[in-house]
Amino acid sequence: MFSIRMRAEKNEKHISGAETLVEKNMISATIMELAQRALSHEKGEPDFINISVESLKIPVKKLTSLPLILTHVENETEGKTLARKLLLELGIPKLCIAKSISLLEKGPANGENMRGAIIMDLNGNRLEPDVVRGIRASHIGITEEASKELQTAISDMRLSTFYTYISDALVLATKVASVKGTLGELCWSDDPSYTAGYVASGKMGYIRIPHLKKKGDPCGGRVFFVENIDPGNYINEMESAPVLVNRFGGIRSFNE
Ligand code: PML
């Protein structure tokens, strides 16, 4: 298998990124698809696009995706209240919840968005070595079969327009939750027009929250909450160990 990864920048600022794992016969088509994605992002036309193709040297871990759990909130205030409650239920201290939300609201890389994620321990310390780059959960993909199952499920819920966002985020969150030491993840999009995000964990699944910020707000990102990790090993696994989602873990509505 091959890992194909794309990242696009404008004036040295991150615009978009995407990746997948494919067999050799899909390399050309995937490169074209990722180039198209880079060129049609709402944040503008990039002046730098990097697409890398890498043959995988280590075995690919196959996982069923986290279950996709849909919530209904009216606005970002309700959304954040729900996210706080879910994170508390995961055992994340109030201080860390408040700090992570405030970082994502302000732009965690000194007022700008990060390319990757924050790693936060339960004392609220940030463990990622580079606060601008952050940590990328990388070398991830989804099989055609799992992708079709997901597509059917979200089409039944009238969410097909958001397929790419949901699929990319669900695959990423599935890997993050699978890495030992992850207690949970908080994310909302940094695309100005996209207000959705999620709280994800192995314990509760991928809980999708349609409003975690106001439309037009360009700030967002990801926080991985961790306990008892060796940062070097954790980061290495997160960035390099290949994970392929080969089954969709199902969809349901959230019941409080
Ligand atoms: C992103 O922009 O990459 C993050 C999107 C998070 C929410 C995806 C969803 O709609 O479930």
- Residue-averaged pLDDT of the chain: 96
Ligand 1 in reach of 196 Cβ (< 6 A): yes
The DSSP secondary-structure symbol of 112 reads B
Ligand 1 in reach of 208 Cβ (< 6 A): yes
In tens, the pLDDT along 143-167 reads 999 999 999 999 999 999 999 999 9
Look at the block and give the residue holding tokens 């007022």.
Answer: 111
Whole-angstrom distance, CA of residue 197 vs CA of residue 82 = 12
**Percent over 70 (pLDDT), the chain:** 100
pLDDT of residue 210: 98
pLDDT at position 251 over 90: yes
User: Mean of the pLDDT values across residues 109-135?
Assistant: 92
| Ligand 1 atom having least distance to the Cα of 168 | 3
In tens, the pLDDT along 183-216 reads 999 999 999 999 999 999 999 999 999 999 999 9
Residue closest via CA to ligand 1's atom 6 equals: 197
**Quick one: CA dihedral 241, 246, 247, 251, positive or negative?**
positive
With cut-offs at 50, 70 and 90, classify the pLDDT of residue 67.
very high
Whole-angstrom distance, CA of residue 217 vs CA of residue 37 = 21
Ligand 1 in reach of 68 Cβ (< 6 A): no
Angle between helices 144-156 and 163-178 (to 10 degrees): 120
pTM over 0.85: yes
pLDDT of residue 13: 86
Q: Delimit the domains of the chain by residue range.
A: 2-57, 62-253
With cut-offs at 50, 70 and 90, classify the pLDDT of residue 51.
very high
